[in-house]
Structure 1
Amino acid sequence: MDYSPLLLSCKLAGISTFFLLLIGAPLAYALVFIPMRGKLFIESLIGLPLVLPPTVFGFYLLLLMGEQGSIGRLYKILFDTSLLFTFAGIAIAAILHTVPYVIQPLKASFSRIDRRLLESAEVLGCSKMSCFFRVVLPNSLPGLAAAAILSFAHIMGQFGVILMIGGSIPDETRVASIAIFEYVEAMRYQEAGQLSLALLVVSYLILLTVNILEKKNNEP
């Protein structure tokens, strides 16, 4: 049995989750603690992947990341290669499609922080950035862990967006969900079953971990 698609899915999920936390944590902090105009519009834009069909989201990404799109042209200028049908392409697609799955748990975790801690830190001379690193993040570790795990799980199961942006190139873009689809299409049910079982076990362990973290986070 070839488990390389599963390993590629884990690689994609790990790398994408790392960048999602780098992007999502400051963004969630800004949405929770910094007053701004149009916050509802920003939050609605971030949440679009939750309601848009993956094929619709993937179609617009295809336009943006193609050589005629703004992201695709910039990537071509920087790296002199196309972004579509590459690992970098599906990683960017996975990140953009998973942003709300990181923002929502982070916002919930940040909102539970006692604002008096931030006020005390500001009185002592901490800047907004210093408060973020010294107060918010240390008091939100369960939320950060939950966001990372949910992000990893979501990317492990992505199909439509990845297929539209990356196709099915072995060891490059052929992740586990696409491999299972192809096995079923070719009536190779044994391989599909083995890979599906592996994903089932991984998904269950991820969900179990999230529930354990939520229980600990809700304990007084």
Structure 2
Amino acid sequence: MDVGVLMLEYLRQSLSLSAEDWTAIWLTLRLCLYTTLILMVIATPIAWWLTSGCSASRTAVQAVVALPLVLPPTVLGFYLLITLGPRGFIGGTLENMGLHHLAFTFEGILIGSVLYSMPFAVQPLQQAFTNLGRRPIEEAASLGAGPIDCFFSVILPMTKSGFIVALTLTFAHTMGEFGVVLMVGGNIPGVTHVLSTTIYGYTEGMQYAAAGRLSLMLLILAFIVLFVVYRFNRGFEMVKP
């Protein structure tokens, strides 16, 4: 038997986690990784644009980005369920094209996670870009650096802590999501059955020991995330609209 399989089996037995728990952990890690990668691509230009000036349109976008901080996750989940479902604009369009709608699918909860974790990616980057200012970019441009070269040689190294905070918060926030995931994806084993919904299922079934083990894992992770955030960016705060 492969050494890696033996190690995983030993870890599973030592933690007393079931095969269903490990499936939920793997599915959660996939969701966190994909959400984080997508948001880094999307949030970076949005954050840069938001620091480029002050206008009504930028204020409106900033408010939309920050909505998940004050909006109940069930509200966002409800609208996504309607939109991605078979009668919604996106889901209905896919159905008319001969494809399957996105409600109660991994792709559906991925879309929900990207939208719900948006402020946790945009705000740290926006703050980092604001603290950086325009002078380093202008000096690099005067020396002949193009936009791409300027980003990788000037902006990225000087705002590294902001990217670390954004990556860490996005990954951890996605791992702890519950309302949006449950509304959009339900609790389908192997498809949308992530850690948060697994804990809910255990608690609902009064399996408190199993729920406690998974809850402890998330609690430890939350502490590590906060430690990393405060370690790399002591002045960071989530700004509510």
TM beyond 0.5: yes
Where does residue 166 of structure 1 map in the other structure?
185
Distance 1:95 1:153 in 2: 13
> Percent of aligned positions with the same letter in both sequences?
39
- Which range moves more in the overlay, 61-70 or 130-139? 130-139
CA apart distance, 1:207: 1.8
Q: Following superposition of structure 1 onto structure 2, how do residues 202-213 of structure 1 map, counting pairs within 5 Å?
A: 202-213=221-232
Structure 1 ranges of 4+ moved more than 6 A: none
Q: Deviations over 1:27-71 (max 9, x none)?
A: 111111256651111111111111111111111111211123233
Distance 1:34 1:75 in 2: 38
CA apart distance, 1:77: 6.2
2:106 pairs, out of 63, 87, 105, with 87
Q: Following superposition of structure 1 onto structure 2, how do residues 66-77 of structure 1 map, counting pairs within 5 Å?
A: 66-76=85-95
Q: Structure 1, unaligned stretches of length 5 or more?
A: none
2:217 pairs, out of 185, 198, 201, with 198
Query: TM-score with structure 1 length normalisation?
Result: 0.89
Where does residue 137 of structure 2 map in the other structure?
118
Where does residue 128 of structure 2 map in the other structure?
109
- Which range moves more in the overlay, 125-134 or 146-155? 125-134
- Which range moves more in the overlay, 64-73 or 18-27? 64-73
- Which range moves more in the overlay, 160-169 or 114-123? 114-123
Q: Deviations over 1:101-131 (max 9, x none)?
A: 1111000111111421111233344455554
Are the equivalent residues in 1 in contact too, given 2:168–2:229 (CA < 8 A)? yes
Does residue 13 of the first structure (1) align with residue 32 of the second (2)?
Answer: yes
Q: Structure 2, unaligned stretches of length 5 or more?
A: 1-16, 237-241
CA apart distance, 1:211: 1.8
Where does residue 6 of structure 2 map in the other structure?
none
Are the equivalent residues in 1 in contact too, given 2:91–2:100 (CA < 8 A)? no
Distance 1:24 1:161 in 2: 20
Query: TM-score with structure 2 length normalisation?
Result: 0.82
Q: Deviations over 1:73-114 (max 9, x none)?
A: 454467812211111110111001111111110001111114
- Give the structure with higher Rg (CA): 2
Aligned partner of 2:229: which letter? V
Distance 1:117 1:189 in 2: 54
Are the equivalent residues in 1 in contact too, given 2:112–2:180 (CA < 8 A)? yes
Distance 2:99 2:220 in 1: 40
Distance 1:77 1:18 in 2: 30
Q: Provide closer, same or farther for how the CA distance between residues 195 and 78 of structure 1 changes in structure 2, counting only shifts above 3 A.
A: farther
Distance 2:93 2:154 in 1: 37
Are the equivalent residues in 2 in contact too, given 1:6–1:195 (CA < 8 A)? no
